[in-house]
């Protein structure tokens, strides 16, 4: 407590020092006077004169102060005050550490994102073709493409990248509908429900656009990782030289 006052409140600390000196001196004088009066009433001490009475009073006062001090120390020892956390201003080293941690966190997020996108690309279905063409295996291809788009959407989560992906998927749905409308009626597959054909076209184009989107994001993320390399090397050299 005394160190805290001395550091942050120097004027208050000086006042507390003066008060403790005056209080201690006044307490000693009062006890000395009281003990001297008590000693003068004891005939065994009073018979040796005022010198013995004053000396006995001073000894008793010092003994009482010593007992009181020991009692106060014991009370504080067995009932310590809770430590007060002091917010110290950040140093240059603290700022450097915070900056290094921020750089490492950004790099870690970018690296894990790049790995995640790479895994999504490796799981892309190989049978998706653009522009859309009807084939007997479209039903199976549709299920795979639809599942892939759903997996990509779920993996991206609630991020800005997911919002961009949703926008691309909406554009792909609109484009697929236009492509179906452009097919002349005589060239459309016979015996196929137009709604089913629409679903096949949408899932096919969405899957193809999802792959293009992920490749673009992967390229941007890798370029960002490479651009961070120089700053990371600089921070590492500074750390090694410090």
Q: What is the pLDDT of residue 63?
A: 77
Q: What is the pLDDT of residue 165?
A: 94
Q: What is the pLDDT of residue 28?
A: 63
Q: What is the pLDDT of residue 35?
A: 66
Is the distance from CB of 125 to CB of 144 less than 8 angstroms?
Answer: yes
Q: What is the pLDDT of residue 170?
A: 94
Low-confidence ranges of the chain (pLDDT < 50): 1-2, 4-6, 8-9, 12
Q: What stretch of H or E contains 12? A: helix 10-40
Q: Residue 99, Cα to own-chain centre: how many angstroms?
A: 13
Rounded Cα–Cα distance for residues 178 and 183 (Å): 9
Q: What pTM value is reported for the model?
A: 0.58
pLDDT digits (tens, 9 = 90+) for 193-210: 777 778 888 888 898 899
Please report, for the chain, the start and end positions of each structural domain, with discontinuous segments joined by +: 2-78, 92-241
Q: What is the pLDDT of residue 112?
A: 92
Structure tokens of 110? 């970018």
Bond into 131 cis (ω within 30): yes
């Amino acid at each position: 407590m005394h160190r805290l006052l001395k550091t942050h409140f120097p004027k208050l600390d000086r006042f507390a020092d003066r008060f403790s000196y005056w209080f201690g001196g006044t307490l000693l004088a009062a006890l000395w006077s009281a003990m001297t009066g008590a000693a003068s009433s004891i005939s065994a001490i009073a018979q040796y004169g005022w010198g013995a009475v004053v000396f006995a009073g001073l000894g008793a006062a010092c003994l009482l102060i010593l007992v009181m001090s020991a009692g106060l120390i014991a009370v504080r020892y067995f009932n310590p005050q809770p430590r007060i956390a002091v917010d110290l201003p950040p140093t240059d080293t603290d700022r450097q550490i915070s900056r290094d941690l921020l750089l490492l966190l950004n790099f870690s997020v970018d690296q894990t994102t790049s790995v995640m996108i790479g895994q999504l690309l490796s799981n892309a279905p190989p049978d998706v073709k653009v522009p859309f063409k009807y084939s007997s295996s479209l039903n199976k291809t549709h299920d795979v493409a639809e599942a892939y788009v759903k997996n990509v959407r779920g993996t991206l989560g609630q991020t800005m990248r997911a919002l961009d992906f949703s926008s691309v998927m909406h554009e792909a749905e609109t484009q697929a509908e236009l492509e179906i409308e452009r097919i002349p009626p005589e060239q459309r597959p016979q015996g196929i429900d137009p709604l089913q054909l629409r679903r096949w076209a949408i899932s096919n184009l969405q899957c193809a656009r999802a792959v293009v989107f992920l490749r673009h994001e992967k390229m941007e993320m890798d370029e960002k990782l490479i651009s961070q390399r120089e700053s990371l090397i600089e921070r590492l050299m500074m750390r090694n030289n410090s």
